[in-house]
Every structure is written in structure tokens, then in C-alpha cells.
């Protein structure tokens, strides 16, 4: 594991990719631009939002400002120290090749970054020809998604309501869990199972907060 004081570099050692919601593969080249994120100034209001426009085939279920508000709804001691939230553009080829994560937490040189990726406008996520693990199916169905087989491909099919709930709790709060894990529990990357289990349990423990955030978003949408 790279020490958090190590400067950002254009290599796998520029910082610690501590954990994240993943799909089938985890490609190193998706981190190529993260080295350019600078340590915030003492006067900056944190977390700093970096918001990119998704390509035409994707969208963010919540906005960047909504993601920041969701993080700040958590206890201060659990999110303070997170320096950036990056709503990052995704290439369609990476989605098709299943090389992108759903999100990840990165730390190094005074930067503690949560990166969130957009979702396909089809509202579906493919898992390939192999039936997903029961744990994954249970989680997706718990948020209201449907797991089905289309041709020879297993997919999850989401409503916008289900997707927003999953994005807030199952993705965003999961990454906050990695931040809490790293700075309070200090699991190493070698303990990948413990790292992911802690983040999952953290997100579950914040169910009430996630529900509150979602209800606020829903109420704001109905008022428009």
C-alpha cells in the first residue's frame, strides 16, 4: 500500500486506490487523470466538487450538489477529511467492456477523493452470461431492481427510484465507508474482503440517513 504522503504519480503507485464498488474487472488506465487533482487550500470549502458532463448514453442519477449534500447529511466525523467528489465522465467502450468500477475511493498527498461514474440510460447493468451471485441479486432486489436474463446475458433492470436509492446508499455511502475504514480502522489492501465488508456494513448502517436523503430529493422534485 502506498503511503498517503507519497506524491501523485502517473503510475499505479501515485496513491492508494483503497476500494470501490466494482464490476467484473478493474482497469488501471481509468485512474490516469487522477494524479492531476491538487491538494485543497486551507480556505477551500470541502468536499470540492468536480462535475463532468456524462456522454450521451449515460446520466448521473443524482447531481453533484446532491451528492455533496448527501455526504454532509452523515455525522461530521465520518465525512470530514474527504477533499473531493468527482462526478466523472465514462466512455461507452469501457462500459461495454465492463472495465469500469461503479465508484472508488482514492487517497494520497492530502487528497481524499470519491469518484462516481454515471449510469447507462438504458437503466440496465449487464453481468455477462454467468448468473450473478446470490448476494448481488439480493442487494439489487433490496433496492427495487429486477434481475433477469435477456438472451444469454444476465442484467439488472432499474427504475429511477430504485437507482437513486442504490446510488446514494449502495454506491456513495459505500465509498464514504472506505474513507472511514482507512482513517479509523486501517485495514490494508491485502484484507480486501474485510475492506469491502466494512464498507457494505457501513452503508447498511446508514440506511435511515439514505432514506432521509432520498425523500428530500423526491420532495424537491415534486415541488418543481
Q: What is the pLDDT of residues 44-61, one digit of tens each?
A: 999 999 999 998 999 999
- 3-class secondary structure per residue, the chain: CCCCCCCCCCCCCCCEEEECCCCCCCCHHHHCCHHHCCCCCCCCCCCEEEECCCCCCEECCCCHHHHHHHHHCCCHHHHCCCCEEEECCCCHHHHHCCCCCCEEEEEECCEEEEEECCEECCCEEEEECCCCCHHHHHHHHHHCCEEEEECCEEEEECCHHHHHHHHHHHHHHHHHHHHHHHHHHCCCHHHHHHHHHHHHHHHHHCHHHHHHHHHHHHHHHHHC
What nine digits make up the cell of 161?
A: 427510484
pLDDT beneath 50, residues of the chain: 1-19, 22-33
Q: Give pLDDT, residue 46.
A: 96
For 70, phi then psi, to 5°, come to -65, -45
Q: Give pLDDT, residue 24.
A: 31
Q: Give pLDDT, residue 183.
A: 83
Listed by start position, the domains of the chain span 16-123+158-223
What pairing do the DSSP bridges indicate for beta strands 124-128 and 153-157?
antiparallel
What nine digits make up the cell of 67?
A: 451528492
* CA nearest neighbour of 106 among 59, 41, 47, 43: 47
Q: Give pLDDT, residue 26.
A: 35
What's the pTM?
0.83
Q: For residues 197 and 109, give the distance between their C-alpha atoms in angstroms, rounded to a whole number.
A: 26
Amino acid at each position: 500500500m502506498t503511503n498517503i504522503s507519497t506524491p501523485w504519480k502517473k503510475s499505479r503507485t501515485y496513491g492508494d486506490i483503497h476500494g470501490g464498488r466494482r464490476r467484473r474487472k478493474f482497469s488501471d488506465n481509468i485512474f490516469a487523470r487522477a494524479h492531476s487533482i491538487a491538494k485543497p487550500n486551507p480556505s477551500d470549502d470541502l468536499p470540492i466538487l468536480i462535475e463532468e458532463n456524462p456522454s450521451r448514453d449515460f446520466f448521473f442519477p443524482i447531481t453533484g450538489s446532491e451528492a455533496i449534500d448527501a455526504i454532509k447529511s452523515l455525522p461530521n466525523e465520518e465525512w470530514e477529511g474527504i477533499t473531493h467528489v468527482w462526478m466523472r465522465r465514462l466512455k461507452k467502450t469501457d462500459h461495454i467492456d465492463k472495465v469500469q468500477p461503479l465508484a472508488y475511493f482514492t487517497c494520497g498527498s492530502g487528497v481524499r477523493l470519491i469518484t462516481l461514474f454515471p449510469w447507462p440510460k438504458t437503466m440496465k447493468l449487464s453481468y455477462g452470461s454467468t448468473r450473478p451471485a446470490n448476494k448481488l441479486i439480493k442487494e439489487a432486489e433490496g433496492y427495487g431492481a429486477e434481475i433477469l436474463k435477456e438472451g444469454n446475458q444476465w442484467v439488472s433492470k432499474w427504475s429511477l427510484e430504485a437507482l437513486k436509492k442504490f446510488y446514494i446508499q449502495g454506491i456513495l455511502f459505500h465509498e464514504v465507508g472506505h474513507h472511514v475504514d482507512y482513517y479509523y480502522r486501517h485495514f490494508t489492501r491485502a484484507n480486501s474482503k474485510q475492506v469491502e465488508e466494512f464498507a457494505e456494513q457501513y452503508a447498511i448502517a446508514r440506511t435511515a440517513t439514505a432514506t432521509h436523503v432520498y425523500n428530500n430529493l423526491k420532495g424537491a422534485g415534486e415541488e418543481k
